[in-house]
Amino acid sequence: MAAEAVVTMDGWCMLHDSRVFDWASWKVANEKERTEAVAEFKELISKWEAVEEQKNGSQSIYKVVGNKADLIFIFLRPTMDVLEEIQRELNKSKIGDYLIPGYSYVSIVEKTMHNPMDEGRDRELNSKVEALLKPILPKWEHACFYPMARRRWKDANWFAIDKAERTRLLYEHGMTGRKYAGKVKEIISGSIGLDEWEWGVTLFAHDPLQFKKIVYEMRFDEVTSKYAEFGDFLVGNYLPKDDVDTYFSL
């Protein structure tokens, strides 16, 4: 018999969009082209910031450490349509010629429903839950992203065990998370039916060491050691709009 399915509350659509910057071509461009491209890019950021101010979405840009990408953009918007439009606008912009698309991840901000009475009220819940489902990204110094899935193994099948057991395991997991209050903020987004893994996890910290601390400690939680599979991890440093000129200057 099938296990009882989880009911989720779902919020904004989320896009992690990493880009490799083509420095060699950038240097070949003349100074006027570069200046215009950066100015136009900053206008785009301002436009995005206005959306965030109106609480119709949120975004941040991070400088990725290592060679997986140069920049990663994280966008939250009410619809998938807007996310695609943002990408297209970026690609059509002048700086878009140098921002070669890399790894990306599509998901929707998700909270597991504890009270089945709430079912069907997705996206219309009270303000507290709304803040969780439509989160404004904290402008902390560092972000970390990784996708994950739950195992469906013979003796460790997350989708076949009792709901009570799942609740117990997740409660224990939550207790580990609480130790990092104030040090790490977390956004969970669901990607089943949308992208390669089952969930995306986006972490924010003032000190990137805390990413290592929390993920390492959680690896000993039973829900992780027995049921979790992880994709690749990306770590980045926050790029405020004021540093955009410096970032691209030669």
Q: Which residues are catalytic?
A: 146
Who's near 44: CB < 8 A, 6+ residues apart?
Answer: 89, 90, 93
Rounded CA-CA distance 245/237 in Å is: 16
Q: Which is nearer to its own copies, 53 or 91 (CB)?
A: 91
Where does the chain show beta strands of DSSP type E? 8-21, 58-64, 71-77, 99-112, 142-150, 152-153, 156-157, 184-190, 199-205, 228-230, 234-238
Min CB(83)–its own copies separation in Å = 5
The one-letter amino acid code at 86 reads I
Site mask, its own copies, residues 103-142, x = CB under 8 A?
A: xxxx-x-x-----------x------------------xx
Strand pairing partners for 234? 145
Residue 53 Cβ vs its own copies, minimum distance, rounded to whole Å: 24
Closer Cβ to its own copies, 53 or 112, answer by number: 112
Stretch that binds its own copies, among 29-37, 39-47, 126-134, 148-156 (CB under 8 A): 148-156
**Cα–Cα dist 53/59, whole Å:** 11
Q: What is the amino acid identity at position 26?
A: W
Q: Which range touches its own copies (CB under 8 A), out of 22-30, 37-45, 49-57, 128-136? A: 22-30
Beta pairing partners, 190 = 108, 199
Site string for its own copies, 220-239 (x = CB under 8 A): xxx-xxx-x---xx-xxx--
Query: Could you give the string, one character per residue 46-85, with x where binding to its own copies holds by CB under 8 A and - elsewhere?
Result: -----------------xxxxxx-x--------xxx-xx-
